[in-house]
Amino acid sequence: MTDMIEDLKTAALRYHAEPSAGKIAIQVTKDCASQQDLSLAYTPGVAAPCREIEADSEAAYKYTSKGNLVAVITDGTAVLGLGNIGALAGKPVMEGKAVLFKRFADIDCFDIEVDADEPDDFVDTVARIASGFGGINLEDIAAPHCFDIEKRLIEKLDIPVFHDDQHGTAIIITAGLKNALELQGKDFANIKVVCLGAGAAGIASMNMLMAMGTPKENIMLCDRKGVVHSGRDDLNEQKQNFASNHTQRTLAEAMQGADVCIGVSGPNLIGTDMVKSMADKPVVFALSNPDPEISPADALAARDDLIMGTGRSDYPNQVNNVLGFPFIFRGALDVRASEINEAMKIAAVNALASLAKEPVPQEVCDAYGGTSFEFGANYIIPKPLDPRLKDFVSAAVAHAAVTSGVAKKAYPSHYPKI
């Protein structure tokens, strides 16, 4: 195992360093080979679009890359499983996010790392640079500051602002859960849910479940100290919202009779006895990476009526944000949405859930070693390399933006009819 870890580390460092440092670069999109080209690209010709934009800021979408440009921005306080490693140390992750935006949705990105100890400084920095972008993807910002930062930026800006660790995770979890519940003969309105992890992902996921019809009183949120309940005096605003009069105090107590357990916390925190105590036909999403809250082998050994999901690509039902954020932004940008609202998020959930029920093209099977996929307990959510994600998710998000009144452009004619 140690040798495998060292091999991965060596390969990853070489990948990032060779043949050139980093993972992204800027590409020139227009000819620049003659004096005439230079006079158009820069002075004196560039003055013409500048004057057009001065007269009408919307012209920036016509004459610059703004409409297809997203800023991926972090303060480095909650980077993957590495914690508060600082903005600069988080840059490889931000570059990686930019790679995924480009690879999956042909969206250009600048990664921006902001050294800011206070949310006020971070918000001020992002707000001042936002006008050059079509959207803002906030990334790896620790709770509870992430909630306040996103809310304030949404209020300040007229472009989509999306904290992927919150809403991207919530959308993918909810899409997978929608299909899992259908297979188990259950629905959002009548399930008892335990969420292990009360940070950005956990809070946003529970809010999304409520948007899909799960009553708040049916949700038990657990953090490092156990169940979040109204008798505690150490809760931030977001946790207080879920602090009902629960009598359970420990995770083990909360799991008794639960239909669903969502883990967005840390490794090996869920025991087999806890899984055995859940209701008939339960669903467990153990999403801690690289080591889940409980291994699929242990969970499935404890319950043969279980549907299991993890955050890992080497197990069935990988809950992976790349299924969401590239295509959500693609849809939002294509109709020039001013925000990514709840209707757009729910549309993404339903689109992902729907795609998993479609016959899987051979090219997707080939990309995963020839494995066949069919809707069922081991395939409740699409694969990231499915080329139909744009047609399903981006189109659904764009349509929802138009119908909910936050789009400045019509639904694109090249998208499928909805």
Is the sign of the CA dihedral 303, 306, 309, 314 positive or negative? positive
**Chain-centre distance for alpha carbon 313:** 16
The vertex-72 CA angle with 311 and 210, nearest 5°, equals 50
- Same domain membership, residue 299 and residue 366: no
CA distance 356 to 379: 7
State the pLDDT at residue 348.
98
One domain, residues 41 and 154: yes
Q: What is the CATH number of the domain that holds 224?
A: 3.40.50.720
Q: What is the Cβ-side half-sphere exposure of residue 210, based on CA atoms within 13 angstroms?
A: 15
Is 412 inside a domain boundary? no
361 and 274 inside one domain:
no
Q: How does 4-22 read in b/e, with b if 16+ C-beta sit within 10 Å?
A: eeeeeeeeeeeeeeeeeee
Beta pairing, strands 283-286 & 307-310: parallel
Residues 303, 252: one domain? yes
Contact 401, 346 (CB under 8 A): no
Q: Is residue 298 part of a domain?
A: yes
Compute, in degrees rounded to 10, the torsion defined by CA atoms 200, 151, 218, 356: -70
Q: 322: which DSSP letter?
A: G
Give me the pLDDT at residue 4, please.
Answer: 59
Long-range pairs of 77-84 with CB within 8 A, sequence gap ≥ 24: 77/140, 77/141, 77/142, 77/145, 78/140, 78/141, 78/142, 78/143, 78/146, 78/165, 78/199, 78/200, 79/140, 80/140, 80/289, 81/288, 81/289, 81/290, 84/142
Final residue before a domain boundary, out of 136, 164, 192: 164
Distance CA 213, CA 178 (A): 11
> Residue 138: inside a domain, yes or no?
yes
In a domain, 135, yes or no: yes
Q: Note down the domain range covering 390.
A: 321-403
Strand, coil or helix: what is 196? strand
Give, in order, the Cα–Cα distances in Å from 57 to each of 51, 54, 340. Answer: 10, 6, 21
Same domain, 75 and 152: yes
Domain membership of residue 372 (yes or no) is yes
Q: pLDDT tens across 49-80, in order? A: 999 999 999 999 999 999 999 999 999 999 98
Closest CA to 182 of 307, 2, 365: 307
- Assign residue 79 the CATH number of its domain: 3.40.50.10380
Same domain for 207 and 154: no
Q: Do both 61 and 120 map to the same domain?
A: yes
CB distance 294 to 268 below 8 Å = yes
| Cα 334 from Cα 106, distance rounded (Å) | 12
* Domain finish residue from 310, 334, 349: 310
Residues 354 and 250 in one domain: no
Asked if 344 contacts 401 with a C-beta cutoff of 8 angstroms, the reply is yes
The answer to whether residues 141 and 28 belong to one domain is yes
> Is residue 159 in a domain?
yes
- Whether 3 maps to a domain, the answer reads no
Are 80 and 143 members of one domain?
Answer: yes
- What is the reported pLDDT for 85? 97
**In this structure, are residues 139 and 72 in contact, taking their beta carbons and an 8 Å threshold?**
yes
What's the pLDDT score for residue 214?
Answer: 98
Measure Cα distances from 206 to 52, 232, 267 in Å.
Answer: 45, 19, 20
Q: Indicate the helix (H) or strand (E) that contains 220.
A: strand 219-223
Are residues 117 and 137 located together in one domain of the fold?
Answer: yes
Whether residue 415 lies inside any domain: the answer is no
| Angular region, 86: left φ>0, alpha ψ -120 to 50, beta rest | left
CB 339 within 8 A of CB 160: yes
CA 221 centroid distance within chain: 20
Quote the number of domains for the chain.
Answer: 3
pLDDT of 88? 98
In this structure, are residues 204 and 169 in contact, taking their beta carbons and an 8 Å threshold?
A: yes
Is residue 38 within a helix (H) or strand (E), and if so which, with residue range?
helix 35-41
Tokens encoding 412: 């694109």
Question: For residue 88, which amino acid is it?
Answer: L
Sign of the CA dihedral 229, 231, 233, 237?
positive
Considering 135, 164, 193, which residue would you say is the last residue of a domain?
A: 164
Residues 26 and 129 in one domain: yes
Report, as residue numbers or ranges, the catalytic residues: 42, 97
pLDDT tens string, the chain, 418 residues long: the values are: 566 566 889 999 999 999 999 999 999 999 999 999 999 999 999 999 999 999 999 999 999 999 999 999 999 999 988 899 999 999 999 999 999 999 999 999 999 999 999 999 999 999 999 999 999 999 999 999 999 999 999 999 999 999 999 999 999 999 999 999 999 999 999 999 999 999 999 999 999 999 999 999 999 999 999 999 999 999 999 999 999 888 999 999 999 999 999 999 999 999 999 999 999 999 999 999 889 999 999 999 999 999 999 999 899 999 999 999 999 999 999 999 999 999 999 999 999 999 999 999 999 999 999 999 999 999 999 999 999 999 999 999 999 999 999 999 999 999 998 8
| Residue 22 to residue 27: CA distance in whole angstroms | 15
